[in-house]
Amino acid sequence: MNSASPTFYQRRGKRAFDALISGGGLILLAPLLAAIALFVRARLGSPVFFRQPRPGRAARPFTIVKFRTLRVSSSDHADDDAARMTSVGRALRALSLDELPELLNVVRGDMSLVGPRPLLMQYLERYTPEQRRRHDVRPGITGWAQVNGRNALSWEEKFHLDVWYVDHCSFSLDLKILAMTMWKLAARDGISQPGHATATEFLGSTER
């Protein structure tokens, strides 16, 4: 957070809002979640869910849960996400349906509905001190960077927007981001970087 004292929303309201919406969302979306799980199982096999350690608030690790969108690694393309991406995966990612199980992470308190996206553990040592401030809050299912370009942005642009959110977090901003997320998903805007099926790896910042 910035040097100002945290607001009531930042201290307590945001977590209460997250718990209410994510809990209700899991109940309302249960039929859709079950249908997607069956679809992934039929088309991609097991496992249905993708689980991976990610850094959360204060960089504490937690296990993120998503629907699986990639084929199991092969020896030929072990590290090539583009080669492992399936038509099923592209469809799920285009509508961000693969992210729906993250509501479980929100209920548990690992994540928030809105916040900087949780990235890979190995990125922690590559951040500048300013970029690392993105971990001053819980990571989110959606965020300020996602509604302002998503994967079409450079890493530096995304991190700048993440830190801006940390300094300006409020109930009204979260509502705005959630509304903009729905609009962006409907328009399928900024889903991927040009020429890439998934976001490119962050190798370190030129701002050091």
Residue 42 lies in a domain: yes
d(CA 38, CA 45): 9
The range of the structural domain enclosing residue 50 comes to 8-187
Phi, then psi, of 143 in degrees rounded to 5:
-160, 180
**Terminal Cα distance for the chain, rounded:** 21
Residue 200 lies in a domain: no
Residue 208 lies in a domain: no
Residue 66 lies in a domain: yes
Question: Which pLDDT band, with edges at 50, 70 and 90, does 200 fall under?
Answer: confident
Least confident of 40-44, 61-65, 89-93, 142-146: 89-93
Whose CA is closest to 85, among 23, 35, 180, 74?
74
**CB 20, CB 105: distance < 8 Å:** no
Write the pLDDT tens digit of every residue in 79-121. 566 667 778 888 898 888 999 999 999 999 999 999 999 999 9
**Which residue type, as a one-letter code, is found at position 84?**
R
Residue 198 lies in a domain: no
Place of tokens 């100002």: 4
Residue 195 lies in a domain: no
d(CA 161, CA 207): 15
Residue 201 lies in a domain: no
Total number of domains in the chain: 1
User: Angle at the Cα of 24 (from 158 to 172), degrees rounded to 5?
Assistant: 45
Whose CA is closest to 56, among 169, 165, 134?
134
31 upstream amide cis, omega within 30 of 0: no
pLDDT attached to residue 89: 84
d(CA 187, CA 181): 10
Residue 53 lies in a domain: yes
Question: pTM, whole model, 2 decimals?
Answer: 0.88
pLDDT attached to residue 77: 47
